[in-house]
């Protein structure tokens, strides 16, 4: 049994399995039949920017694992795995504009990459180059969202999955998932300018689920529905995997919040400390603020949300968040979500895929990138 192995061995096994799925999804998306669709060249390059850079590919992997866990054929679910990756990618492209980040997956963000291209290739001035970069990023994200829906349709055209299943998944991701995700992103923006006292941990974790957990829930649900070839989301196995991946998705975001403050920027491939400059209202900040004295609160309020905060001030805020227990509290909270999620695995038949789901859950909160 996998749970008799050390975590290091489980992690190595899981990452090998993850890599295998990543390569299959990458090969699928890099097909010339897709690449020839996207014109002009800047749109093509923007659409493929993050895809070429790779990534964790956890969402497509969990979709494929979920399909296998209910006795389905992973191969049939491949278009949906690719669709989830593309859907996730457009949210990153747009999120990077919202957060004004300049680095993603170890490279430039799309809006930053094309700001630079506008200067070097078109000789645009700085103001218009910035506008061009953001415009290209928004347009690329729009194209990617449409591509994701198109990929889902291939479940039927290429693998003869029941049309009822395909229509359900397209409708679900383009209505329920999309609207929930946008709601979460909007709340995230609004909360960053709200007083910390006006929020509570429940409001924050609900927001985190909406902006991140909902797509993990969809990934598990989609994999199970394809594997069973059913359009019934209330099927016992579908429901169990949906609830499992939903809770793991919230834990993933809690771990992301931790890494965004104390992670290794080289491993993450994106800026560390930007959440502090943006004033993100994470459970880390909420718990630390609740335990802070008046002087500590004043200092945190001065740094959080200050785009001009120096590196020394960022380090000071990190030290306060750690000293006041915010990071450890959030780490424990993430673990509790994984523990709750694992209850739903009891309804899933024993298999190698179930083992992968179990390791994946732990991986969500033990990862360093």
pLDDT > 70? residue 2: no
Domain count, the chain: 1
Q: What range does the domain containing 26 cover?
A: 2-366
**How does pLDDT run across 141-185, given as a tens digit for each residue?**
999 999 999 999 999 999 999 999 999 999 999 999 999 999 999
Instruction: Return the pLDDT at 270.
Output: 66
Q: What is the DSSP letter of 343?
A: G
pLDDT band at 272 (very low <50, low <70, confident <90, very high): confident
Per-residue confidence (pLDDT) for residue 47, from 0 to 100:
98
DSSP string, 145-210: HHHHHHHHHHHHHHH---HHHHHHHHHIIIIIIHHHHHHHHHHHHHHTTS-GGG--HHHHHHHHII
Tell me the per-residue pLDDT of 346-360, one tens digit each, with 9 for 90 and over.
999 999 999 999 999
Give bridge partners of residue 108 from the DSSP assignment. Answer: 103
Q: What is the CATH number of the domain that holds 233?
A: 1.10.600.10
How many angstroms separate the first and last alpha carbons of the chain?
27
Kindly report, residue by residue over 279-315, the tens digit of the pLDDT.
Answer: 999 999 999 999 999 999 999 999 999 988 999 999 9
């Amino acid at each position: 049994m996998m749970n008799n192995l050390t975590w290091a061995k489980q992690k190595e096994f899981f990452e090998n399995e993850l890599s295998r799925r990543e390569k299959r999804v990458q090969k699928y998306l890099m097909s010339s039949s897709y690449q020839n669709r996207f014109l002009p060249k800047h749109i093509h390059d923007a659409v493929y920017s993050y895809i070429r850079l790779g990534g964790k590919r956890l969402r497509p992997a969990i979709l494929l694992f979920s399909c296998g866990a209910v006795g389905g054929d992973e191969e049939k679910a491949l278009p949906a795995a690719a669709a989830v990756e593309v859907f996730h990618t457009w949210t990153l492209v747009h999120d990077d504009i919202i957060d004004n980040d300049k680095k993603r997956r170890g490279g430039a963000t799309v809006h930053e990459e094309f700001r630079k291209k506008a200067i070097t290739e078109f000789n645009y001035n700085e103001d218009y180059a910035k506008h061009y970069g953001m415009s290209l990023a928004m347009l690329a994200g729009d194209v990617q969202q449409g591509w994701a829906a198109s990929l889902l349709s291939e479940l039927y055209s290429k693998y003869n999955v029941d049309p009822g299943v395909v229509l359900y998944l397209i409708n679900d991701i383009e209505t329920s998932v999309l609207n929930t995700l946008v709601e979460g992103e909007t709340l995230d923006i609004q909360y960053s300018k709200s007083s910390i006292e006006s929020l509570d941990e429940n409001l924050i974790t609900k927001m985190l689920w909406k902006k991140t957990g909902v797509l993990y829930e969809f990934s598990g649900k989609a994999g199970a529905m394809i594997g069973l070839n059913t359009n019934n989301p209330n099927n016992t196995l579908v429901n169990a995997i949906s609830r499992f991946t939903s809770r793991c998705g919230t834990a993933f975001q809690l771990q992301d919040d931790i890494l965004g403050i104390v992670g290794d920027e080289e491993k993450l491939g994106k800026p560390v400390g930007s959440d502090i400059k943006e004033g993100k209202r994470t459970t880390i900040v909420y718990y630390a603020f609740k335990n802070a004295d008046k002087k500590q609160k004043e200092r945190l309020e001065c740094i959080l949300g200050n785009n001009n905060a120096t590196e020394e001030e960022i380090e000071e805020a990190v030290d306060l968040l750690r000293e006041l227990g915010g990071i450890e509290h959030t780490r424990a909270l993430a673990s509790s979500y994984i523990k709750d999620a694992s209850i739903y695995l009891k309804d899933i038949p024993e298999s190698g895929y179930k083992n992968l789901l179990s390791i994946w859950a732990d991986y969500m909160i033990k990862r360093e990138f």
